[in-house]
Amino acid sequence: MLTDIMKKAAFLLILGFCAWSALAAADAQAIMKSIEDTLTGAQAPKDLQATMIMTITRGASVKVREIRAWTKNNENKDDFRVMKFISPADVKDVGFLVLAEDSMYIYLPEFHRVRRIASSNKKDSFMDSDFSYEDMGTGGYSKYYDPRIASETDKTWLLELTRKKDVDKPYARILLTVDKSNGLPIKMEAFDEAGRAWKTSTQVPSRVGKYWIMTSYAMTDLKKNSTTSLEFKDLKPDQKLADDIFTERFLVRRVQ
């Protein structure tokens, strides 16, 4: 009799644990969906025009670059993005175009040609910064990672993102700190295949009109001991940007 009661208690305990696990997974998925809806989905601006200041700090070396950027949000699809370097002279007129995670192009004016970024090169540094071409993509996390809530405080959730099977992404695992006050990420920690900490980033979401938009990033490569910041200014949402901005033809144009 006692054994039957113990078996029943154990069964109920396992059932309760499974239910809790399912709820936690569902909550994590809901948080991820909310993030992507806010930044690139239904609650995001249709498009965005901005100026970006990129600062690369490596020891005593500091490089500052100015970039014009245009983004078009495509709900339920990868966003489009164009970046054109304005200064300094050694990178002026370089252009970068993203049409999908597997469709990225760079224009190098010294060679007068547009080159497609091969999948094998997406882990490479983007213009000598601490962002890779992969980091500059627009595909989001949910397609490539399974989330779970690793921990929680009164102010934040810590999401652990584990790379899905057969997905070609450089980070095997990501820890994402999400601010409960706005439901948006404020810190990212990325790990390599061996489980070693590789990169960390902090980001600042700001209210621009009726939208939440990321207005600052700071990416640190722990292996290189180097940091690159991106500061956004002159943000202009919903400009009804023309489709021909997101083309190779526009990529080779000079921008003032």
Domain 37-251: CATH superfamily, name plus number: Lipoprotein localisation LolA/LolB/LppX (2.50.20.10)
Contact 132, 124 (CB under 8 A): yes
Q: Where are the beta strands (DSSP E) in 142-182?
A: 145-152, 156-163, 173-179
Measured CA angle at 193 (ends 190, 197), to 5 deg = 35
* Percent of the chain predicted with pLDDT > 70: 89
Name 54's bridge partners. Answer: 65, 230
Condensed to tens digits (0 to 9), the pLDDT of residues 51-67 reads 999 999 999 999 999 99
**Global confidence as pTM:** 0.86
pLDDT tier at 4, thresholds 50, 70, 90: low
Which pLDDT value is given to residue 2?
A: 44
Question: Which is more confident, 74 or 190?
Answer: 190
Domain ranges of the chain: 37-251
Indicate whether 215 pLDDT > 90.
yes
Residue 45: its pLDDT value, please? 96
pLDDT at res. 13:
41
Question: In the predicted model, what is the mean pLDDT of the chain?
Answer: 89
**Range of weakest confidence among 2-11, 46-55, 131-140:** 2-11
